[in-house]
Amino acid sequence: MLSQQPLHELYLTCQSELEAVLMARVKCRETAADLCQEAFIRLCHLDDLGGIENLKAYLFKTALNLLCDHYRSQSARQAVTIDWPADALLEPEDLRCAQTVAVGEETLDKLIAALAELPPQCQRIFYLNRFEGLRQRDIAERLNLSIRTVEDNIKRALMHIAKTLNNP
């Protein structure tokens, strides 16, 4: 490994020039200083500096390569940066509070009671449509009914449920 003296001299003669070159490109004094320091560190960690003809050119080339890496990492960071609204909640609201659960259970009880008040055929059609996900045409075929009858029963069930849930 090369002695520390030539590296020390290189640092004394080139450090401010290299920082100025980097500063002109990144427009940030701290980033330029960091890149300059990293270039010198990389030079210090090389095992054989004897094979390098122009140490200053090698140092500048190393610094410019680090600058390219810096630009790449900056553009990658900017690509995934998400602008959150200033009023966004840091934590989502917990909807499992006791009051919310109680209201939900009460509403579910009302829904079940409302469905129980409907005629069995209306209940069956509503169940097949809303819980099984069958289309009206498929329900009509399965139960051997007209599409109009299926539509009327779904409408009847929805109106009855809405009326029941809206009345306290």
Determine which helix (DSSP H) or strand (DSSP E) holds 166, and give its type and residue range.
helix 147-166
Q: Is residue 102 part of a domain?
A: yes
Indicate whether 85 belongs to any domain: no
In a domain, 129, yes or no: yes
> 91 in a domain, yes or no?
no
> Distance between CA 82 and CA 4 in Å, rounded?
46
Does the residue 150 lie in any domain? yes
Confidence (pTM): 0.45
- Is 49 in the same domain as 14? yes
Task: Give me the domain span that covers residue 157.
Answer: 98-166
Write out the E strands in the chain.
none
Please determine, for residue 81, whether its predicted confidence score (pLDDT) is greater than 80.
no
pLDDT digits (tens, 9 = 90+) for 86-144: 555 555 555 567 777 787 888 888 888 888 999 999 999 999 998 889 999 999 999 99
| pLDDT over 60 (residue 82) | no
How far apart CA 100 and CA 55 sit, in angstroms, is 71
**70 and 136 housed in the same domain:** no
Q: How far apart are CA 2 and CA 68, in angstroms?
A: 27
Q: Residue 114: which CATH number?
A: 1.10.10.10
65 and 118 inside one domain: no
Question: Smallest Cα–Cα separation from 39: which of 15, 4, 6?
Answer: 15
Q: Is residue 30 part of a domain?
A: yes
Q: Both 117 and 157 in a single domain?
A: yes
Q: Is residue 90 part of a domain?
A: no
Mean pLDDT, the chain, integer: 83
Please name which of 163, 64, 148 lies closest in space to residue 111, comparing C-alpha atoms. Answer: 163
Q: Which of 52, 79, 106 is the last residue of a domain?
A: 79
Cβ(64)–Cβ(18) below 8 Å: no
pLDDT tops 60 at residue 167: yes
Residues 71 and 22 in one domain: yes
Q: How far apart are CA 66 and CA 32, in angstroms?
A: 10
Count of domains for the chain = 2
Task: Indicate whether 57 and 109 sit together in one domain.
Answer: no
Tokens at 2, concatenated: 């090369």
Same domain, 70 and 113: no
